[in-house]
Structure 1
Amino acid sequence: MSFRDFASPWWLLFLVVVVAMAVGFVLAARRRQRNTMRFTNMDLLEKVAPRRLGISRYAPTALILAGLMFLTVALAGPTSDQRVPRNRATVMLVIDVSLSMEATDVAPDRLVAAQEAGKSFADGLTPGINLGLVAFAGTASVLVSPTTNRDAVKSAIDKLQLAERTATGEAIFTAMQSIDTLGAVLGGGDAAPPARIVLLSDGKQTVPESPDDPRGGYTAAREAQTKDIPISTISFGTSYGTVDITDDQGNTERVPVPVDDPSLKEIANLSNGNFFTASSLEELRSVYDTLEEQIGFEITKGDASRPWLIAGVLLTAAGVVTALGLRQRLP
């Protein structure tokens, strides 16, 4: 604990006074002992001197001095880091629904696992956060605008449908537009509410072909960075995932759909966000738990003087009671 952890650190100077009191008590006790030893008639001394309490006679003073030390620290206003739920923030959950999400390398398949974990994520967020939902394949759609109604989000997650292609950049742009719309509606502040995009995908962007295209994923991530909207990306799946594609003639072909970690990691880096990987439902839930902590709470400095105050009062009271019990007077 440093001086920066106190609201009024100069009160700590009073500890010097407490230490001086302790030193003064010790010196006075030694002086009394020397004066007592000068009494040459020991038989008479035993008759007139009060009953000796031994070292316990110093207990009341020690307790009171310790109490003063704790009370002094309390006066200095110690602070500590405290987790405070966010009540004014926006989160856009963006879920890939391209055909590759049908792969069964994650049981029962990628989409079903993503739906189950997504609903748990919605339930776990602190109540004051506005949560929205975007689904994307070849295009992106806002299924639920940011709201504190978790049932609406979970209902929309249950209704996700697979489609062709992957437009990652379009999904990010759509999520940012939804965040901007909510910010304009809320108003009332100099700065927009803090926001974050949580993007879950398993494959490489296919629309447009280049992520640096004006509507590409990297371009969208750079714009998110300028708006101070970090993107937490989750690469969901394995390197050995496959899907069966049936053409117009009824022929079925097994197509590999490995996850694309590099592009999702780059999107997170460009937006000052975080990159995660998950290859099972349990791992995805763990990622969401981490995000809930990051998004749902903020760390602030709060008052931590109460324990010091309680300890100081109790020690001081114990010193007074002990003095009255042992000596029938205060020290």
Structure 2
Amino acid sequence: MLDLQWPWALLLIPLPFIFWWFRKPNSANATAVYWRHSALLENPAHTQRTSTNKLSAVLLYLAWLALVLAIARPTWLGNATHIPPTGRDLLIALDLSGSMQITDMTLNDRPADRLSAAKEALAQFIKARRGDRIGIIVFGSKAYLQAPLSYDLDTINQLVQESQIGFAGEQTAIGDAIGLGIKRLEEQPADQKVLILMTDGANTAGRVSPLQAANFAAKEGVTIHTIGIGAEQMTVQGFFGPKVINPSSDLDEPLLTNIAELTSGRYFRARSTEELHQVYDILDQLEPTPSDDVLQRPKTSLFHWLGILALMLFSLAMICTGKLAFKLKGRA
């Protein structure tokens, strides 16, 4: 589709005709002028001169038309393309400590360990975050960046699914994971810094205190949502028969609550796979992404092509006029 940025310039198209009309002499008041080569009008050269003048006039007008169109700044608009909306930058810190292998969750009505349930819930959450940049931090005894912030959600999800218990050690360095998240988000706008931290235990390793890291995150404008994962009851086979235990006795809920409150986030408790899905549904609402795609049309400016065309036509008109003048001079 053709679009003109300055369509008012088209009003200049008839300007040569207007100028010619007002400059045309009135035959009643015309004054005879002596021309010593008037005899040329009576031979075939006169016809050639008239034809050449007409051709020059046509070329000059076409040059003027191309120039006016160039002034109107025509732009060719291509087909509309959908641009995904730009949302938030989300970092997900996933606990890979040894306790994440406890089988107190279910998947498809079958027993599953905590990490498998976390992967399944994260897969759906990541898939729904179209337009966000998502990164993955894994932590155990130490914290590592598994995947930097990226719009490639398929690759991010694949890296999550490839994570295994023990990759980062057997202990839990919550403070180091928060510190690494702050570092990766420090250059992002304040309203886009979000860290989701999921763990099933307490801080047992690392060089940074979780509360110190949380206070620094609050100063940097990083919002931290914390998730405590793990069931509260589990039946195990003991020496005297089955007994019920609390597999989440090591979960430091007060710490996770304080981290969330200090950074204007929320703490969630996920005792089952169903509750974990509900948590991520709530996070989807707390950290929404733009719902509408952005339509963009590629623009190609035609200004320079019309300018070149006008110059070529003007040059041709000058060449024709010059050849005629040269022939008439030769005949004289």
Aligned partner of 1:281 in structure 2 is 273
Decide whether the 8 Å contact of 2:94 with 2:199 is kept in 1.
yes
Normalised by the size of structure 2, how large is the TM-score?
0.54
Matches of 1:100 and 1:168 in 2, distance apart?
14
Amino acid at match of 1:139: K
Query: Are 1:99 and 2:91 counterparts?
Result: no
Aligned partner of 1:201 in structure 2 is 199
Per-residue CA distance 1:55-112 (angstroms, 9 max, x = gap)? xxxxxxxxxxxxxxxxxxxxxxxxxxxxxx9624210011111111111111211010
Structure 2 counterparts to residues 125-274 of structure 1, below 5 A = 125=129, 127-163=130-166, 164-180=170-186, 183=188, 191-192=189-190, 194-208=192-206, 215-240=208-233, 256-258=247-249, 259-274=251-266
Normalised by the size of structure 1, how large is the TM-score?
0.54
Decide whether the 8 Å contact of 1:104 with 1:242 is kept in 2.
no
Query: Are 1:295 and 2:287 counterparts?
Result: yes
Matches of 2:222 and 2:124 in 1, distance apart?
23
Q: Between Structure 1 and Structure 2, whose CA radius of gyration is higher?
A: 2
Structure 2 counterparts to residues 55-134 of structure 1, below 5 A = 87-107=86-106, 108-125=112-129, 127-134=130-137
Q: Which runs of 5+ in 1 are unaligned?
A: 1-84, 184-190, 209-213, 245-253, 300-331
Q: Which runs of 5+ in 2 are unaligned?
A: 1-83, 107-111, 238-244, 292-332
Decide whether the 8 Å contact of 1:94 with 1:199 is kept in 2.
yes
Aligned partner of 1:53 in structure 2 is none
Matches of 1:267 and 1:192 in 2, distance apart?
18
- SS in structure 2 opposite 1:206? coil
Amino acid at match of 1:205: N
Matches of 1:144 and 1:118 in 2, distance apart?
14
More displaced 10-residue stretch of structure 1: 268-277 or 234-243: 234-243
Decide whether the 8 Å contact of 2:100 with 2:114 is kept in 1.
yes
Aligned pairs, how many?
192
- SS in structure 2 opposite 1:165? coil
